[in-house]
Amino acid sequence: MTSARSLCLALGLLAASGCAFASSEGGWGEGWGDWSYKQKNELPDTPLSRAAKAVKNRPIAGGWTFSLGGSAQQRFQKLDNRRDFNEARNDEDVSLLSRTRLNAEFKYGKMVKVFVEAQDAWEFWRDRLPGTNPNENALDLYQAYVEIGLIPDIVDKPSLVLKLGRQELVLGHRHLFSENDWLNLGQSYDLARVTWRPDGFDIDAFAGWPVVQDHRNLDHTGSHDNLAGVNVKALGIPHGHTVEGTIAYKWNDKINYVGERGIRDGVQLWTLAGRADGRFFKNWDYETELALQTGERGTDNVYAWGGFAQVGYTWKMGWWRTLRLAAQYSRESGDKDPRDGISNTFDPLFGDQFRFHSKLLAAGPKNLEDIAARLTAKVWKGGTLEIDYHLFRLDKATDAFYQSNGRPLRRSVTGRGGREAGREFDVQATHAFNENLSISGGVFLFDPGRLFEETGTRAHDNATSFFFMVRTNF
């Protein structure tokens, strides 16, 4: 499919599904993409939303049902100075990121489900740079899995579920495993996954590979990364608290990592993480997570850690108006000595690149200390305003400042650049017309710190981003 046809398909889906019916989860305070309402009666019904029910849960034969669904996301964005942080050079990207997904679902009662989803993603008008565009992937298979319930519980829902095939993987609050929905391509995995739900617990075991999306060829698992893990979540804790733990193993047997001693070898990494969240004193809420890592990178021993904590207070000013203020602190370890054969740089695995730190994707959770303040307000019916401020410092001055994709952006091996990496100010607003149509826009600004003045080209001008986005689904 050509890029022109892809844009036409996306615009057609946008027009057809703008007011269509679907179910959606999440609340106003969970992030840019969670624009659904929690109260069903708030959403207006339309002739198109009623008509869309004709393709949902349609009986076929022998107890099987069939559903069609899809989504379209069109994001116009303007980036300035994001590549080199130098206003003297022409470094302005203006583009339209277009993503279209279509899916089909076959179900047999509550015990069997087959799900297939195709994705077509493009970026229009962007400057063509050397290499492949990370925002483009021609029509390909994004998800394709079968889900089988093995043991029905007392209300005939499966308490043991086997899920095989290409699928998204989201655990906890997306610190370590996420679908990375802000990225134009998202993230899926080829996995075997077993979920067991004994009384009071949700136990999830998985093993497989992340999918590498290839613009010109079929998507594959060519990164040679492998992953396996178990997540245990405690349910039914009083006052809505959640406690869960994760143990994950990531390895790559290909000899492609050069350690501090200059020896090339594979990677074996164990991660043990625990998290908790909930509410207290009626209006207060909290979230905390701690991850410890050990193993080997090349011939280097790994000892790393990462921590996240947030506390917030919510004012309710009527049945739909709310205001939440939150303070956030996170820190991920960096390497204190690049020559001692011990690697202390934290690996965030496959966590959400957009949700926690830089919305410009300039700062990622490696060798990073982030002190943040956040405001989220539901100031009009259907509307959400979010304002974030981040102060970035390096954990270790001798390690790099890493981007959200894990690649180094600036590095001072001697530590002369200091720890001050910069500040970011993000503002975004979202309006949900109904569960199936939303618009959002925002401005993000990154102000580089002393590290940028002392390293690389020594350019340290502000980087900015403006975006406007329309999302639809049915």
Q: Residue 143 sits in a domain of what CATH number?
A: 2.40.160.100
Residue type, 64: W
Task: List per-residue pLDDT tens for the chain, 474 residues long.
Answer: 444 444 444 434 433 333 333 333 333 234 433 433 334 444 556 555 666 677 888 999 889 999 999 999 999 999 999 988 988 777 778 999 999 999 999 999 888 999 999 999 999 988 777 778 899 999 999 999 999 998 877 556 788 999 999 999 999 999 999 999 999 999 999 999 999 999 889 999 999 999 999 888 888 887 889 999 999 999 888 878 999 999 999 999 887 788 877 788 889 999 999 999 999 998 999 999 999 999 999 889 999 999 999 999 999 887 678 999 999 999 999 999 888 889 999 999 999 999 999 999 999 999 999 999 999 999 888 899 999 999 999 999 999 999 999 999 999 888 888 999 999 999 999 999 888 899 999 999 999 999 999 998 888 899 999 999 999 988
Alpha carbon distance 263, 276 (integer Å):
39
Instruction: Compute how many other C-beta atoms are within 10 angstroms of the C-beta atom of residue 372.
Output: 19
Judged on CB neighbours under 10 Å (0-12, 13-18, 19+), 405 is exposed
Residue type, 272: L
| CB-based contact 271:248 (threshold 8 Å) | yes
| CB-based contact 93:82 (threshold 8 Å) | yes
Q: Which of 349, 407, 374 is nearest to 175 (CA)?
A: 349
Alpha carbon distance 211, 219 (integer Å):
7
Domain with 456 in it: 3-473
Q: Which of 173, 255, 248, 250 is nearest to 209 (CA)?
A: 250
Q: Which of 328, 255, 318 is nearest to 286 (CA)?
A: 328
Across the strands, what pairs with 173?
Answer: none
| pTM over cut 0.85 | yes
Structure tokens at 316: 């309710």
Judged on CB neighbours under 10 Å (0-12, 13-18, 19+), 239 is exposed
Alpha carbon distance 47, 45 (integer Å):
7
| Per-residue model confidence (pLDDT) at position 46 | 56
| CB-based contact 148:162 (threshold 8 Å) | yes
Query: Structural domain tally of the chain?
Result: 1
| Per-residue model confidence (pLDDT) at position 364 | 95
| Per-residue model confidence (pLDDT) at position 231 | 98
